[in-house]
């Protein structure tokens, strides 16, 4: 029995083992299947991507096959149309010194190349710019740029997209410094028009035609509000035009940036200071005429201050040879200062000869003219001396006799003495002068001064009205 049982037991054990093994392998198989499933999903995805890449590569290869980048689209037929628009990311500065303006923009061009059409369902392709090098591109230039550069850091700031219908959208970020011819005749009350020309370098209008993509007056846009230190950007109309250059018609785009200058800076820096200097010179009319030094000082000091001011102004404007509005103002301020100095010269001249002064009462005192050779210089002597001095000139005019010569010699002596007193700082002489002044009322107002007190402010006001009326009117 034992012998007969053993094989059965063994058989059962073996079957158990086999079953166990089967279960394990099945599990493993199941697991493998699952893994496989996951793998195949991933593979599916991978293959989908690669299939797509492959599809596009084939498309691009197909496009570039037989593509000649030297020949423009539509060759031999209508001109290729390039649609342009500009997004200005920063505008300025505008420099008077070298008559230029700078702007940083995204220049966007769009054109259509039928040779590059592909299936609609592939969608818009955004490709590396290296591919673009192998395609035809318009030779667009900025005709009046002085200096411009494409931003290349950290990478070349360009992008392009290919649309299924063969349209290409090409955008590049460029900083342009362009020439702007300025007429500074009305500076700083001026409006400047800075023109910007875009066109093809070599292709005439028969080959390439430019147009504004979003229509005239809408195709130049600003990223942010334009804030310039010296100007207001009023408007920027856009035009497309055909220009004849050397007998060939070229298609060209133009933007006119119309800029109006802020006056504030110049009003604070020039107009107010120079007007104040002119007003300061009028103070001279209210100082009595014997104060020669004071009045001459006021005149000369204001003149010199204005000179400093006007040299300073010329430093920050272009060195144009004609007179600007600002120069006119400064010149007129000079003229007013000069006039007030000359006015004093006249007042002084007439003061010397008497102008119906009370001093004339002492005409006859020439006879009492005595020169004290000895040291006994008293206040009384000086009094008579000085009064005779004032009437002296009239006597000279009247009598032309030999006493004139005598008088002349005496005068020289008198002046020498006066000079000596001045040098030695003679106190009694000074006292005598002071006494004389109060006694004879020498400090009477000159009629010329009275006239100038009204005439100068009035004429300056009139000049200002005319000046501002003329230039502000011109600005409009
Ligand atoms: C497939 O893989 C995911 C993770 O990638 C896992 O969570 C999931 O269990 C797997 N499926 C099978 C059937 O093994
Ligand atoms: C495979 O692609 C499908 C849809 O495209 C996505 O839902 C799925 O998560 C992707 N699977 C893996 C493993 O990437
Ligand atoms: C664009 O603006 C200018 C000046 O403002 C105007 O003369 C011109 O007619 C405008 N063009 C269009 C198409 O509106
Ligand atoms: C240029 O255009 C004008 C008018 O638009 C035309 O009369 C002239 O013949 C053209 N010149 C050339 C060289 O095509």
Listed by start position, the domains of the chain span 1-66, 80-262, 265-353+448-475, 358-443
Would you say domain 265-353+448-475 falls under CATH 1.10.1040.10? no
Q: And the tokens for 148? A: 């411009």
Residues near 94 by Cβ (< 8 Å), separated by ≥ 6?
100, 101, 102, 180, 192, 194, 228, 230, 231, 259
Measured distance CA(249)–CA(266) in Å, rounded: 44
Q: Is the CB of 217 inside a 6 Å radius of any atom of ligand 3?
A: yes
Q: Does an H or E element contain 274, and which?
A: helix 272-282
In the structure, which protein residues have their CB atom closer than 6 angstroms to any atom of ligand 1?
34-35, 37-38
Q: Whose C-alpha lies nearest to ligand 4, atom 9?
A: 249
**Ligand located closest to 38 CA:** 1
CATH superfamily, domain 80-262, is Neurotransmitter-gated ion-channel ligand-binding domain (2.70.170.10)
Q: How many helices (H) and strands (E) does the chain have?
A: 10, 13
Nearest ligand, measured from the Cα of 219: 3
**Shortest-distance ligand to the CA of residue 30:** 1
- Atom number in ligand 4 closest to CA 204: 14
- Which ligand 4 atom is the nearest neighbour of the CA of 248? 13
Q: Of the candidates 332, 265, 264, which has an alpha carbon nearest to the alpha carbon of residue 470?
A: 332
Atom number in ligand 4 closest to CA 206: 14
User: Which residue's CA lies nearest to atom 10 of ligand 2?
Assistant: 45
Rounded Cα distance, 358 and 441, in Å: 7
Lining residues, ligand 2, CB within 6 Å: 41-42, 45
Tens of each residue's pLDDT in the chain, 476 residues: 455 677 777 777 877 777 766 666 555 555 555 555 666 666 777 888 888 888 888 888 888 888 999 999 989 889 999 999 999 999 989 998 889 999 999 999 999 999 999 888 888 998 888 888 889 999 999 999 999 999 999 989 999 999 999 999 999 999 999 999 999 998 889 999 999 999 999 999 999 999 999 999 999 999 988 889 889 999 999 999 999 988 999 999 999 999 999 999 899 989 999 999 999 999 999 888 778 888 999 999 999 999 999 888 878 777 888 999 999 999 999 999 999 999 998 887 766 433 334 444 444 444 444 444 444 444 444 444 444 444 555 555 555 677 778 888 887 887 778 667 756 767 776 666 556 555 555 556 777 888 999 999 999 999 999 999 999 887 77
Cis amide bond preceding 154, omega within 30: yes
Q: From ligand 3's centre to the CA of 237, what distance in Å?
A: 6
Q: Closest Cα to atom 14, ligand 4: which residue?
A: 249
pLDDT the model gives residue 403: 79
Q: Where are the alpha helices (DSSP H) in 69-161?
A: 129-132
Q: Which ligand is nearest to the CA of 46?
A: 2
Give the nearest ligand 1 atom to 38 CA: 1
- pLDDT confidence of residue 436: 58
Pull the structure tokens for residue 76. 């031999």
> 237 CB less than 6 Å from ligand 3?
yes
CB of 163 within 8 A of CB of 114? no
The CA-CA-CA angle for residues 22, 27, 32, to 5°, reads 120
229: helix, coil or strand? Answer: coil
Distance from residue 38's CA to the centre of ligand 1 (Å): 6
Ligand found nearest the CA of 44: 2
**Nearest atom of ligand 3 to the alpha carbon of 238:** 1
Nearest atom in ligand 2 to the alpha carbon of residue 38 is 13
Token duo for residue 230: 């010296």
| Residues near ligand 4 (Cβ within 6 A) | 242, 244, 247-249
Nearest CA to ligand 2 atom 3: 45
CA 354 to centroid of ligand 1, rounded, Å = 122
- pLDDT for res 435: 60
- Cα distance between residue 232 and residue 147, in whole Å: 24
pTM of the predicted model as reported, rounded to 2 decimal places: 0.69
Q: Ligand 2, residues 35, 40, 41: which to mutate, most atoms within 8 A of Cβ?
A: 41
Domains 80-262 and 265-353+448-475 are alike in CATH topology: no
Cα–ligand 2 centroid distance for 59 (angstroms)? 25
């Amino acid at each position: 029995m034992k012998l007969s049982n053993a094989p059965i037991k063994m058989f059962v054990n073996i079957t158990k083992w086999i079953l166990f093994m089967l279960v394990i392998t099945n599990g493993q198989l199941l697991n493998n299947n699952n893994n496989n499933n996951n793998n195949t999903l991933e593979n599916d995805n991978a293959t989908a991507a690669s299939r797509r890449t492959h599809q596009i590569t084939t498309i691009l290869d197909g496009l570039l096959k037989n593509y000649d980048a030297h020949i423009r689209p539509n060759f031999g037929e209508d001109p290729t149309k390039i649609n342009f628009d500009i997004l200005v990311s920063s505008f300025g500065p505008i420099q008077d010194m070298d008559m230029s303006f700078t702007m940083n923009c995204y220049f966007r061009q769009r054109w259509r190349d039928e040779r590059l059409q592909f299936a609609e369902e592939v969608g818009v392709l955004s490709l590396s710019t290296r591919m673009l090098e192998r395609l035809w591109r318009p030779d667009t230039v900025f005709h009046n740029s002085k200096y411009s550069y494409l931003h290349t850091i950290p990478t070349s700031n360009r992008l392009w997209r290919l649309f299924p219908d063969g349209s290409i959208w090409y955008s590049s970020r460029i900083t342009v410094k362009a020439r702007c011819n300025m007429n500074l005749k009305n500076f700083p009350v001026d409006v400047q028009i800075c023109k910007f020309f875009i066109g093809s370098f070599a292709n005439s209008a028969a080959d390439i035609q430019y147009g504004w993509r979003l229509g005239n007056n809408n195709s130049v846009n600003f990223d942010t509000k334009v804030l310039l230190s010296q100007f207001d950007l009023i408007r920027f109309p856009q035009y497309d035009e055909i220009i004849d250059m050397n007998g060939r018609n070229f298609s060209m785009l133009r933007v006119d940036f119309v800029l109006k200058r802020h006056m504030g800076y110049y009003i604070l820096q020039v107009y107010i200071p120079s007007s104040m200097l002119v007003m300061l010179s009028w103070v001279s009319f209210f100082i009595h005429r014997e104060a020669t030094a004071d009045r001459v000082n006021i005149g000369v000091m204001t003149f010199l201050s204005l000179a400093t001011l006007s040299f300073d102004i010329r430093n920050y404007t272009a060195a144009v040879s004609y007179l600007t509005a600002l120069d006119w103002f400064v010149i007129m301020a000079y003229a007013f200062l000069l006039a007030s100095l000359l006015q004093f010269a006249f007042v002084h001249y007439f003061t010397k000869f008497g102008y119906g002064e009370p001093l004339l009462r002492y005409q006859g005192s020439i006879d009492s003219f005595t020169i004290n050779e000895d040291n006994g210089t008293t206040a009384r002597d000086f009094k008579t001396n000085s009064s005779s001095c004032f009437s002296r000139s009239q006597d000279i005019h009247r009598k032309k006799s030999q006493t004139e010569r005598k008088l002349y010699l005496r005068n020289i002596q008198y002046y020498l003495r006066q000079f000596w007193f001045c040098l030695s700082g003679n106190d009694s002489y000074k006292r005598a002068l002071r006494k004389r002044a109060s006694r004879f009322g020498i400090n009477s107002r000159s009629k010329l001064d009275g006239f100038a007190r009204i005439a100068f402010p009035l004429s300056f006001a009139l000049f200002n009205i005319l000046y501002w009326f003329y230039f502000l009117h011109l600005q409009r």
